[in-house]
Structure 1
Amino acid sequence: MLDDEQITVPQFYPQIIAASEKLQFNMPSDLKTGSLLRTLVASKPSGHFLDIGTGTGLSLAWIAAGANETSRIISIDINATFQQVALETFADDERISIVCADGNEWLTFYDGEQFDLIFADAMPGKFEVLDQTLELLKVGGFYLIDDLLPQPNWPEEHPQRVEKLLETLKQRGDIVQTTLNWSTGLMLFTKVS
């Protein structure tokens, strides 16, 4: 079975891809990651979801496709130019709040309801302010990170950063994890305490 052939992209995905190409946005979420993200979100009816690293809204499209009508989604990014695509695409979707902010500051000072799923697709929430991010996750909630296998756009020092992150996460006692040598290299965690 070829898993790429089984993936149906969400509504708005083609238009976000086209807008991303015009802006020369070259960090899209992988289709397999998006498909998994949609499935995980669908498992949490009326859920509260956090997308760290809106970009142009590709991962947000997958989250929105999995979320039911009573779910709430927050997507944060510091780049207003790229994020404008998502703002225009999801302007009529009342479930979605798109925030342009420094991710480290937002994650550090956010004091609202915890999340059923956090997708960390940016430096904040993954390589930075990790403890603060995981405190925002409900018990039973999912934390998904991607891009753990070498990517062509990685800076020279990035492999060591990934290794340190993986070791840090494996030592935590409040989460259980599964490593997926699939897509761009994923780790999926569930908070247990």
Structure 2
Amino acid sequence: MDDTPSVIPTALSALRSKARDAGFIMSSEDRTGSLLAALAAAAPAGRVLELGTGVGEGTAWLLSGMDSASRLTTVELDPDVQVIAQEHLGDDPRVTFVTGDGGTWLEDFDGAPFDLVFADTWPGKFTHLDRALELVAPGGTYLIDDLIPQPGWPEGHEASVERLLAELEERDDFRCVRMAWASGLLMAVRTAGAQPGGSSV
């Protein structure tokens, strides 16, 4: 079975061209994007959080799956890459771009939880993990990618990934599934009766 997505967001071609021009090589691949779109579509009037906008390829996939009542907040440290996403996607009223450190944003955020959290950068994944998971609503989904070893990984990163996966799977407030697919994914769904921090009622 061919798992290449047959439908891609309209803005994706232009975003990829800009990414090549900028030398940005960290965008999520199409299969991950198609899953993001499906998860966004599964949450009508949903609240979506993306940590790590990059040039906006993941953002475009999320927006393609969201309905008109859904809202997306996307956070990026590097303004030089996020401006590409803003230029191509900023006219969509459903998305709010935040430029700044993802860890600081997670620490300071005091709004309602999210139905979908996609952590595609260090904060919310390798740092501030507990805080990111606190922001997942009951029945909501936390998704991370880039878990299969890659040539560009820094020394010792594979051990960090294994620790992260073990920590997530030890929690009893989320049900996790690993997927040896795309760049390597883990999807965690908060159980309905769960309280933040790993306990359940």
What band does the TM-score fall into relative to the shorter chain?
over 0.9
Unaligned runs of 5+ residues in structure 1 are none
The answer as to whether partners of 1:78 and 1:100 remain within 8 angstroms in 2 is: yes
Q: Aligned pairs, how many?
A: 192
Aligned to 1:103: 102
Separation in structure 2 between the aligned mates of residue 151 and residue 98 of structure 1, nearest angstrom: 29
What SS is found at the alignment partner of 2:45?
Answer: coil
The 5-angstrom pairing of residues 1-193 of structure 1 reads 1-4=1-4, 6-192=5-191, 193=194
Letter in 2 for 1:159: E
RMSD: 0.7
The DSSP-based 3-state class of the residue aligned with 1:3 is coil
Superposition deviation, residue 90 in structure 1:
1.4
Amino acid at match of 1:155: P
Q: Distance in 2 between matches of 1:103 and 1:153?
A: 22
What TM-score do the two structures reach when normalised by structure 1?
A: 0.98
Distance in 2 (CA, whole Å) between partners of 1:121 and 1:91 is 20
User: TM-score under structure 2 normalisation?
Assistant: 0.94
Q: Give a deviation string over 1:8-59, Cα, whole Å, max 9, x none.
A: 2111000000000000001010110000110010000100000100000000
Q: Give the distance between the partners of 1:184 and 1:28, measured in 2 at CA.
A: 11
Gaps of 5+ in 2: 195-201
Deviation at 1:2, TM superposition (A): 1.1
Report sequence identity in percent.
41
The CA deviation at 1:7 is: 3.0
Contact 1:7 1:35 in 2 (8 A): no
Matched letter for residue 2 of structure 1? D
User: Is the Cα–Cα contact under 8 Å of residues 7 and 31 in structure 1 kept in the other structure?
Assistant: no
Q: Deviations over 1:148-170 (max 9, x none)?
A: 00112111111011011011111
